[in-house]
């Protein structure tokens, strides 16, 4: 039986989550269907555009993503503090970019005066919307429903497009986050869809590399904030340069003609995260096979499962072996 989503998300322990959505049909979500000869490549842009659009509406940031032939990978950061900071009007404006809202929310935004009863129900609605804007399930629901509607219309059919639920993994520390992001960014290379990170279309690493060439970071993605420090701004706890070098070197090691060994002296980020070089390649090529639940060092897992009141510590042996 699948675990309820509320039993997998604990924002007290981590704001980072890895989500996977898989297409249920034989036909591809994207790519070329060898049976029919039809190309679905244009759908990759649908997914990427919608994903980055939602990141501007929800209080959820995109850390990494890759749009594959029959599934998508997304690493998300839930900014619930931002959702709590926004005023009522800002919450409604954001929600109305996605849905029509209610008659009361429309009246409120138009400046109409509400009586006490109407204000009471409006406040409850705003509270619901505020919670949804920092909810991974709502984010993935809006993303997947939009793509499913477009695909069904294009295919002139009805029915389920995605598997019943998306899969999610809690990323409990920097090591888990770095490994998962690299795993996601290198998916096209591992699937032999691209030769280099910059050639990996519809991935976050390609978007970051393009921006880096202009000495920028893409606005649609959460920023790299550098190494953790006392007054840490919002952002990924790594240096962009180190991460891109790490992805590039790992990608070269995964190529069939270059089964290289990652030298620890070449990867300072691994030293800081205390990940053994011999474990890194396994982490970044078999992440979802090795880890079925939350990912992090044993002490982080204990706190996570305690907060969720879960007795079974899924995957703790792998975390101890590869991250411990």
Q: What is the three-state SS of the chain?
A: CCCCHHHCCCCCCCCEEEEEEEECCCCCCCCECCCCCCECCHHHHHHHHHHHHHHHHCCEEEEEEEECCCEEEEEEEECHHHHHHCCHHHHHHHHHCCCCCCHHHHHHHCCCCCCHHHHHHHHHHHHHHHHHCCCHHHHHHHHHHHHHHHHHHHHCCCCCCECCCCEEEEECCHHHHHHHHHHHHCHHHHCCCCCCHHHCCCEHHHHHHHHHCCCCCCCCCCCECCCCCCCCCCCECCCHHHHHHHHHHHHHHHCCCCCCCCCHHHCHHHHHHCCCHHHHHHHHHCHHHHCCCCECCHHHHHHHHHHCCCCCCCCHHHHHHHCC
Residue 108 CA from chain centroid, whole number: 33
Give, in order, the Cα–Cα distances in Å from 167 to each of 84, 162, 241.
26, 12, 30
The two tokens of residue 131 are 């919670």
The two tokens of residue 130 are 């505020």
pLDDT of res. 1? 43
Q: Which of 224, 241, 303 is nearest to 61 (CA)?
A: 224
Q: What is the pLDDT along the chain (324 residues), one digit of tens a residue?
A: 456 666 678 888 999 999 999 887 655 667 677 777 778 888 899 999 999 999 999 999 999 999 998 899 999 999 999 999 999 999 999 999 999 999 999 999 999 999 999 999 999 999 999 999 999 999 999 999 999 899 888 888 888 888 878 899 999 999 999 999 999 999 988 888 888 888 899 999 999 998 888 888 999 999 998 877 777 788 999 888 889 888 888 887 776 665 555 555 555 666 766 777 777 777 777 787 777 778 888 888 888 888 888 777 777 787 787 776
Q: Where in the chain is the domain with CATH 3.30.70.1290?
A: 11-81+135-316
pLDDT of res. 258? 56
To which CATH superfamily is domain 11-81+135-316 assigned?
Answer: Transposase IS200-like (3.30.70.1290)
């Amino acid at each position: 039986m699948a675990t309820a989503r509320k039993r997998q998300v604990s924002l007290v322990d981590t704001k980072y989550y890895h989500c996977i959505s898989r297409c249920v049909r034989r036909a591809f979500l994207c790519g070329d269907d060898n049976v029919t000869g039809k190309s679905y490549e244009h759908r990759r842009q649908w997914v990427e555009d919608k994903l980055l659009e939602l990141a501007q509406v929800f209080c959820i940031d995109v850390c990494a993503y890759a749009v594959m032939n029959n599934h998508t990978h997304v690493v998300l950061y839930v900014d619930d503090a931002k959702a709590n900071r926004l005023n009522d009007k800002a919450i409604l404006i954001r929600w109305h970019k996605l849905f029509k809202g209610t008659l009361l929310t429309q009246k409120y935004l138009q400046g109409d005066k509400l009586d006490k009863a109407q204000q009471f129900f409006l406040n409850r609605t705003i509270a619901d919307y505020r919670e949804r804007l920092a909810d991974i399930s709502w984010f993935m629901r809006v993303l997947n429903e939009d793509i499913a509607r477009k695909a069904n219309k294009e295919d002139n059919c009805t029915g389920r497009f995605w598997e019943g639920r998306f899969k999610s993994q809690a990323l409990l520390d920097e090591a888990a986050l770095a490994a998962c992001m690299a795993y996601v960014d290198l998916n096209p290379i591992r699937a032999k869809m691209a030769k280099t990170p910059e050639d990996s279309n519809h991935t976050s690493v390609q978007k970051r590399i393009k921006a880096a060439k202009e000495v920028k970071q893409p606005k649609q993605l959460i920023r790299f904030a550098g190494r953790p420090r006392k007054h840490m701004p919002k952002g990924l706890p790594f240096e962009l340069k180190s991460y891109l070098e790490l992805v590039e070197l790992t990608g070269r090691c995964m190529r069939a003609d270059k089964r290289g060994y990652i030298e620890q002296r070449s990867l300072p980020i691994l030293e800081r995260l205390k990940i053994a070089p011999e474990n890194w390649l396994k982490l970044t090529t078999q992440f979802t096979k090795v880890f079925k639940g939350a990912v992090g060092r044993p002490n982080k897992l204990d706190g996570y499962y305690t907060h969720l009141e879960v007795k079974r510590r899924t995957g703790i042996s792998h975390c101890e072996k590869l991250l411990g």
